[in-house]
Amino acid sequence: MSETKAGPGRHRIVVVGGGAGGLELVTRLGKRLGKKAEITLIDCSRTHLWKPLLHEVAAGTLDSHDDELEYLAHASSNGFRYVLGRMDGLDRANKQVHLAAMVNEKGEEIMPPRTHPYDILVIAVGSICNDFGIPGVTEHCLFLDTTEQAEQFQNRLLEAYFHAHATGGVKEIGQLDIAIVGGGATGIELSAQLHQATRLLSAYGLDNVKPSDIQIHIIEAADRLLPGLPERLSKSSLKQLESLGIQVHLGERIVEVTQEGMKTQSGHFIPAALKVWAAGVKAPDFLKSIKDLETNQLNQIVVRQTLQTTVDDDIFAIGDCAACPWPEKNATVPPRAQSAHQQASLVLKNIQRKLEGKPLLNFRYKDYGSLVSLGKYSTVGNLMGNLLGTVMIEGLIARLVYLSLYKMHQLALFGPFRVGMLMVAGFFRRRLQPKIKLH
């Protein structure tokens, strides 16, 4: 089955993946070119939530339904079409994206396999956690790649809490302990949010379980936290986590995961009822099976400086799924939200230039620094600029800068007026609702 085609003379521009970069790109394309071209977003979910918020959803300190965006409604008001589907293949010769069948919770087919035509294609399917083939990870660990996975973790946490409360408290070692593999930003931010969540759950009446009954572990194979960032950030984050009582295990490589906990290469065993895998990312596995595209060992699509693929000028790739050269560092651009935002801005210009027959521009990544939030406890980071060089920030200033990143994403999608209204609505919502999601 094939999707309907565009009208005569209208270019068909298709963006696959509605994450930070893909959604910003298709929104701006719809506003600028929606009357001249047919702009389509394809995504396997019906809603969007900014991925850096998933650790808050997992801890229950954020209700995803308060902050999610509905693709269908957003498309209607921004000049593009939305198609529900999961890309699983590509036919470059006939310029068609292959979409897999969609099934419901019962396994019943709700949408058959289809193809969708394109003239210009942008692949922005993001990334997933990399389990590195370690035994037991897939079977016993939870991941935080999607809103559904984050909500599943939060449900598991609540179920374990309610069970322990109803049976008189923690009875076994590790019964409510949480092990997070990966000492990057996701692991650190999740651990801090969980520390806050355990105190809120006790405050709301589940007082048969004391916060001291729960041990949160972070396991990192490198010899420091945040191995890809400046060492000062690592030391500051470690100090904050230790002050919260979070157990940090550095230089420990997981070799097996069981129902009861984690086994490390050094012979240690870390008991945990809930296990989260947040160690490394890779592009979705289906990309490596597409013979028409060049991919690397992490399944990322290899692109040129123009963000076009190495094999097809009509196909671009952005965000975590793209292996984009970073000549200044002799490396590839890191998988961060700021990378996807910058790449979306360039592809917008390059698509316009391509339609106008102009030469395309090259991508130059600008690293503006990194921020790591420890919830209400602290925020640490470094800002990078031409005037001041690298500046380390902590505390309130770092927290405000961190919050501004999400507002910048919202501004790209909604504009200043609606973002202002969302801020007012959020202000009142936070004062009317519990501080943690309890259902």
Instruction: Choose one of 355, 385, 400: the last residue of a domain.
Output: 355
Instruction: Choose one of 226, 258, 277: the last residue of a domain.
Output: 277
pLDDT digits (tens, 9 = 90+) for 194-239: 999 988 888 888 888 888 889 999 999 999 999 888 888 899 999 9
- CA distances (Å), 311 to each of 301, 317, 325, 346, in order? 10, 12, 16, 19
Q: What is the pLDDT of residue 437?
A: 78
Instruction: Choose one of 277, 309, 341: the last residue of a domain.
Output: 277
- CA distances (Å), 434 to each of 70, 137, 193, 228, 377, in order? 24, 33, 15, 36, 19
pLDDT digits (tens, 9 = 90+) for 73-87: 999 999 999 999 999
The structural domain count of the chain equals: 3
Q: What is the pLDDT of residue 395?
A: 79
Query: What share of the chain in percent tops pLDDT 70?
Result: 96
- Residue 368 — pLDDT band, cuts 50, 70, 90? confident
| 45 and 75 share one domain | yes
Within a domain: 132: no
Q: What's the CA gap between 360 and 351, in Å, rounded?
A: 8
| 185 and 244 share one domain | yes
- Residue 135 — pLDDT band, cuts 50, 70, 90? very high
Within a domain: 438: no
| 216 and 97 share one domain | no
pLDDT digits (tens, 9 = 90+) for 14-68: 999 999 999 999 999 999 998 899 999 999 999 999 999 999 999 999 888 888 9
The 8-class DSSP code of residue 62 comes to: S
Residue whose C-alpha is closest to residue 194's, from 218, 171, 173, 165: 218
- CA distances (Å), 107 to each of 77, 148, 247, in order? 33, 17, 41
Within a domain: 414: yes
Q: What is the pLDDT of residue 4?
A: 45
| 142 and 273 share one domain | yes
Residue whose C-alpha is closest to residue 380's, from 217, 273, 230: 230
| 149 and 217 share one domain | yes
| 301 and 171 share one domain | no
Q: What is the pLDDT of residue 435?
A: 76
Domain containing 225 — which CATH number?
A: 3.50.50.60
Strand pairing partners for 96?
Answer: 91, 117
Within a domain: 37: yes
| 148 and 265 share one domain | yes
pLDDT digits (tens, 9 = 90+) for 181-191: 999 999 999 99
Q: Which residues constitute the domain of residue 405?
A: 369-431
| 304 and 346 share one domain | yes
Within a domain: 437: no
Within a domain: 6: no
Within a domain: 436: no
Q: What's the CA gap between 415 and 77, in Å, rounded?
A: 12
| 257 and 323 share one domain | no
pLDDT digits (tens, 9 = 90+) for 150-162: 999 999 999 999 9
Q: What's the CA gap between 203 and 211, in Å, rounded?
A: 10
| 164 and 224 share one domain | yes
Distance from chain centroid for Cα 390: 26
Within a domain: 160: yes
Region of residue 293 (left: phi > 0; alpha: psi -120 to 50; beta: else) = beta
DSSP β-ladder status, 322-323 and 247-250: unpaired
User: At what angle are helices 147-166 and 185-203 packed, to 10 degrees?
Assistant: 40
pLDDT digits (tens, 9 = 90+) for 276-310: 999 989 999 999 988 889 999 999 999 999 999 99
Burial of 439 (0-12, 13-18, 19+ CB in 10 A): exposed
